[in-house]
Amino acid sequence: MRVVIAEDQFLLREGMASLLKEHGFDVAEAVGDGPSLLRALTSQRPDVAIVDVRLPPAYTDEGLRAALEARRQVPGLPVLILSTHVERLYARELLADQAGGVGYLLKDRVFTDEQFTDALRTVARGGTVMDPEVVAKLLARRSGQPPVARLTDRERQVLELMAEGRSNSAIGQRLVITEKAVSKHCTSIFAKLDLPPSDDDNRRVLAVLTYLDS
Amino acid sequence: MVAIMRPGHHGSMESVLNVRPRQLRALGWAALFPAVMCLCFVCWGARPWTWIAVSAAAAVTLLTPAVAADLLAVALLGFASYAFALIGRNETLPPGSGTTAGYPFHSVVFGSGPPHTVDLAAGLLMLAVGAWLVPRTIGVHSRLSRRNGDLLNRVRRLTITRVDAVDTAAAELRRIERDLHDGAQARLIALGISLRATEGLIRTNPEAAVALVAESRENSARALTELRALVRGIHPPVLAERGLGDAIRALALDCPVPATAEVDLPGRLPAPVEAAAYFAVAEALANAAKHAEARSVHIRATHAAGALRIEVTDDGAGGADPSRGTGLRGVERRLGTFDGVLAVSSPPGGPTIVVIEVPCGS
């Protein structure tokens, strides 16, 4: 799997590159600023890109903008955005095209190899991965409102993990329940939230995120 | 009930109070000078005493502000009284000795010859011109002294806001130091200790070492979380990355109460103004959610006529008293540094409207 990395801090860039090589990824290019990221994304067409939001030259949101621009030119180009902070605003912009192949995680998650590489693979497959903090922010505002308040504690846990972009089997492993139990919870959640049921993992995540963000 | 806090407000009250007494004082002097002249000439004629007394009166007049305007009027009134003084003097002179000896100005100003009628006419003319001129020069005077008063108020206000700014910055630094000391610094020390312990255990007791490494990771994650919260409090990342418009949109999205944002701002504003406005909106939203039990909030941010204006309106319980909370006070002080104002209207039963206005070019 070919990966492009955009990160301006040398240590983190090299650390990420060696971590990915260990896990069998092929690092096609590692860049350190916005303009070279856009060039790398459009010329390399990687299977997935890892992009830091804040990049030189201006250290604002060059990374995010380059990624969004690359996705405009190459629709559905899988991009995993990393940042030291997460904003619902950015998550919304990333999800706006509903094309999938999008991830948005805190940089801290890189420490946990499996979570990070799992997320990377999900995004490369066209899936959607949201940081638990984004999901928590989305749920915080909704938790008092009737449809979300009607969910049981277990259903809430499942909803959270679902919104983060995990598959049924991953949710099952995490909560130590069977996959069948997870899918039962999912059916019940979708019914309570009045969402059309969907077997497609990615469409399911997008539906849940769109619901929570509306 | 409308509670309004306006840092600039007490300033304009003062300037009103400042101008009035000055105008009165100028009038007083204007009347005093000819009166003194009149008295001197009537009593003494053109003797050294007269000149000393007249000079003293002129000196006192000169000491008042905006004298140039007053002086013209005073001089004309002075000539008028001089003329009357002549008449009065002539009438007290022994019959037949109607000369103008001892009145050195007389021949210069009124020419030679019998003084009576010419003096009277000249005196009346001068008086008329003086009466016409005085209200006008007082107008000029008050304009000049108002400018003076405005400048004085400006200096006073700048002194206050500068002290506020320095205090706020110092308190902020203390808070950051404390947060770093108790938070990230403590975590990093713990991290160093567990790494040190891991070093010792890695061969002898690998299992315990693995547990320690997991603990270290936990500690570093916590340190990061705390640093993130701290950074948000100092300068929110979204503000640095996107500017005020998107930062307000982000605040609206994160607000526990459903909030809508209507932003019409041209490009980026000066960074300190953006930060002050951001924290003002954050405080208003927090109040709406915490105290007002609002169901919805609307934020409107515009930039017109060289000023940034933000309105935060909620449909909550109202009755907010900005003088009691420390939050809005802090916001007001911070805005004051940029001559910004904060106004709160919050009648019982709502709605609460918080308006922030900061003068700034785009």
CA gap B108, B86 in Å, rounded:
14
Nearest to B256 among A60, A83, A140 (CB): A140
What CATH superfamily is the domain A2-130? Response regulator (3.40.50.2300)
Task: Considering the domain delimited by B239-359, tell me its CATH architecture.
Answer: 2-Layer Sandwich (3.30)
| Å between A108 CA and nearest CA of chain B | 7
Is B272 in contact with B338 (CB distance < 8 Å)? yes
- CB B253 to CB A61 under 8 A? no
The two beta strands, A2-6 and A48-52, are parallel
What is the per-residue pLDDT for B13? Answer: 35
Q: What confidence category does residue B278 fall into, taking pLDDT thresholds of 50, 70 and 90? A: very high
Tell me which of B64 and A146 has the higher pLDDT.
A146
Of A88-102, B71-85, B149-163, B253-267, where does mean pLDDT reach its minimum? B71-85
Rounded Cα–Cα distance for residues A111 and B89 (Å): 107
pLDDT digits (tens, 9 = 90+) for B224-233: 888 988 888 8
Q: What is the pLDDT at residue A20?
A: 93
The complex scores an ipTM of 0.83
State the pLDDT at residue B43. 54
> CB A61 to CB B242 under 8 A?
yes
Domain ranges (residues) in chain B: 9-161, 168-234, 239-359
Which residue in the set A60, A107, A137 is minimally distant from B254, CB to CB? A137
Peptide bond into B256 cis (omega under 30): no
SS3 content of chain B, % helix, strand, coil (to 5): 70, 10, 20
- In this prediction, what percent of chain B has a pLDDT beyond 90? 24
pLDDT digits (tens, 9 = 90+) for B141-168: 677 777 888 888 989 989 988 888 888 8
**Separation in Å, CA of B234 to nearest CA in chain A:** 14
Query: A148 contacts in B (CB within 8 Å)?
Result: none
Number of A:B CB contacts under 8 A? 48
Q: Where are the domains of chain A?
A: 2-130, 134-213
- E runs forming strands in B295-351: 297-304, 307-314, 341-345
On whether the pTM is more than 0.80, the answer is no
**B242 at A interface, C-beta within 8 A:** yes
pLDDT score of B97: 47
CB contact under 8 A, B220 and A111: yes
Interface test with B, best of A53, A83, A87 (most B CBs within 10 A): A87
Predicted local distance difference test score (pLDDT) of residue B68:
55
Instruction: Tell whether B235 is within 8 A of chain A (Cβ).
Output: no
Rounded distance between C-alpha atoms, residue B353 and residue B332, angstroms: 15
The CA–CA distances, whole Å, from B10 to A43, B4, B5, B16, B358 equal 63, 12, 10, 10, 17
More confident site: B114 or B305: B305
Nearest-by-Cβ selection for B250 from A87, A107, A111: A87
φ, ψ dihedrals at A128, nearest 5°: -125, 130
Average pLDDT over every residue of A75-104: 92
Task: Indicate the pLDDT class of residue B94, thresholds 50, 70 and 90.
Answer: very low
* Cβ pair A141:B255 closer than 8 A: yes
Of all residues in chain A, the one with the smallest CA distance to B220 is: A108
What residue in A sits closest to B245 (Cα-Cα)?
Answer: A89
Q: How is domain A134-213 classified at the CATH fold level?
A: Arc Repressor Mutant, subunit A (1.10.10)
3-class DSSP state of B314: strand
pLDDT at B316: 87
User: Which pLDDT does position B24 carry in this prediction?
Assistant: 56
Return the pLDDT at B179. Answer: 86
- Alpha-carbon gap, residue B150 to A24, rounded angstroms: 73
Query: B255: nearest CA in chain A?
Result: A141
Q: Which of A8, A52, A89 to mutate to test the interface with B (most CBs of B within 10 A)?
A: A89
How many CA atoms within 13 Å lie on the side-chain side of B271? Answer: 8
Between B7 and B188, the more confident residue is B188
